[in-house]
């Protein structure tokens, strides 16, 4: 339910992007926001038909505009349901 969702500010979104695992040194997370919802897009990166690089252009930020420019017909809500981590809130709204 909504209560289990994290409230994510734009700066948190940026911070969560490209963090490296201390042990392996591999990049762990890529988070993006689409129309107010925040997703960990990492698991989807290798499967994106437009390529990992294109999807990464939206990493750490709100990708709605880029997304809508390229493929407004794609139903990302169905595709990324499992990857949703939270909701985007303004910088002033303290995280829950
Ligand atoms: C293609 C999903 C984000 C760039 C596609 C396609 C899907 C998809 C399903 C195939 C569409 C079709 O053939 O009709 C997604 C999802 C996204 C996402 C779920 C968000 C999580 C983005 C972003 C960009 C982008 C942010 C650009 C910065 C592209 C491009 C193609 C494509 C250029 C066309 C590839 C081609 O036809 O050669 N994407 N996409 N996508 N996507 Fe995305």
The predicted complex's ipTM stands at 0.91
Cβ of 31 closer than 6 Å to ligand 1, yes or no, is no
pTM of the model: 0.86
> What's the distance, Cα to Cα, between the start and end of the chain in Å?
15
3-class state of residue 65 by DSSP: helix
**Sheet with strand 6-8: strands edge to edge:** 6-8, 84-88, 37-40, 31-34
In this predicted model, what pLDDT tens digit does every residue of 42-76 receive, in sequence order?
A: 999 999 999 999 999 999 999 999 999 999 999 99
Q: Is the CB of 70 under 6 A from ligand 1?
A: yes
Instruction: Give one DSSP letter per residue of 82-93, joined into a string.
Output: GGEEEEE--TTS
Atom of ligand 1 nearest to the CA of 69: 27
Cα-to-centroid distance, 67 and ligand 1 (Å):
7
Q: Give residue 22's pLDDT.
A: 73
What are the pLDDT digits (tens) for 83-96? 999 999 999 875 55
pLDDT the model gives residue 29? 81
Whether 88 contacts 41, CB under 8 Å: no
- Ligand 1 and 16: CB distance under 6 A: no
């Amino acid at each position: 339910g909504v209560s289990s969702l994290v409230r994510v500010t734009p700066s948190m979104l940026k911070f969560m992007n490209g963090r490296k695992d201390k042990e392996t040194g591999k990049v762990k997370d890529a988070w993006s926001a689409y129309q107010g919802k925040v997703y960990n897009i990492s698991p989807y990166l290798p499967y994106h038909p437009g390529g990992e690089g294109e999807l990464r252009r939206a990493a750490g930020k709100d990708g709605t505009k880029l997304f809508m420019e390229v493929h407004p017909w794609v139903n990302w809500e169905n595709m990324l349901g499992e990857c949703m981590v939270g909701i985007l809130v303004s910088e002033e709204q303290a995280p829950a």
